Amino acid sequence: MPAEGVICRENDPGTACRVRDMTDEMIRMLGRAVPSALFLAAVEEAVRGDLAAREIPDRACLLLLLGGALAGLTGEMPLWWGGAALTWAERAAGCICVSLPMLLLDLRVPGAFGGGDVKLAAAGGFFLGWKSMACAGAVAVLTGGAAAAFLLLVGRRKLRDGMAFGPCLCLGMAAGYLWGGPMAGWFAG
């Protein structure tokens, strides 16, 4: 007799699962694992590019969009804290909740953000949804401000010098990925 739960046969009463159940579970696992791997690859690519050349590669944004689309198509929530799957409207709102204010600020104060930062925020919002991306934006602004203050204090930057914001944005997106739901509840509450 096969080990219980290992080999799935329809008419075997000693088995704990069926082939269809295993297939569904594999799709659920892939719906979480693949987007999560794409998220990690995108964050690494964005941080490396922004620190090295002050340019965020389009490839990083495409990885986030692909991961968000895959999660949306499988109906899975790749975020660490779980929660219900995001709707396409929540993903669309995530695209603009941080990137639009960044773009408007950059239009008002040229050079405030680079175009790669705005694109990364939009793609990250598509992956995370609006609640987690709003938290990510808050964390990014706080860490960016702290980093800028530190660089000013130690004399590595002058007041009008720019700095790479992509790593701060990626740190915020990682926080949104890991704790977005609980953080959104804390901010709202």
Note whether residue 5 is domain-resident.
Answer: no
182 lies in a domain?
yes
- pLDDT of residue 184 exceeding 90, the answer is no
The model's pTM is 0.85
Give the rounded distance of the alpha carbon of 80 from its chain centre: 10
57: region left, alpha or beta (phi > 0 left; psi from -120 to 50 alpha): beta
Query: What is the tally of structural domains in the chain?
Result: 1
**Position 86 in a domain:** yes
- What domain range includes position 116? 19-188
Torsion angle in degrees (nearest 10) through CA of 142, 143, 145, 151: 160
Per the prediction, the chain carries an average pLDDT of 87
**So what's the pLDDT on residue 30?**
77
**141: in domain:** yes
- Give CA 42 to chain center in angstroms: 9
Of residues 158 and 122, which shows the higher confidence score? 122
Asked, for residue 13, whether it belongs to a domain, the answer is: no
- The reply to whether 10 falls in a domain is no
Domain-embedded: residue 77 = yes
Residue reference for tokens 């694109």: 119
Q: How many residues does the chain have?
A: 189
Any domain includes 6: no
**Tens digits of residue pLDDT in 39-70:** 999 999 999 999 999 999 999 999 999 999 99
Q: Distance between CA 176 and CA 26 in Å, rounded?
A: 25
Burial class (CB in 10 A: 0-12, 13-18, 19+), 17: middle
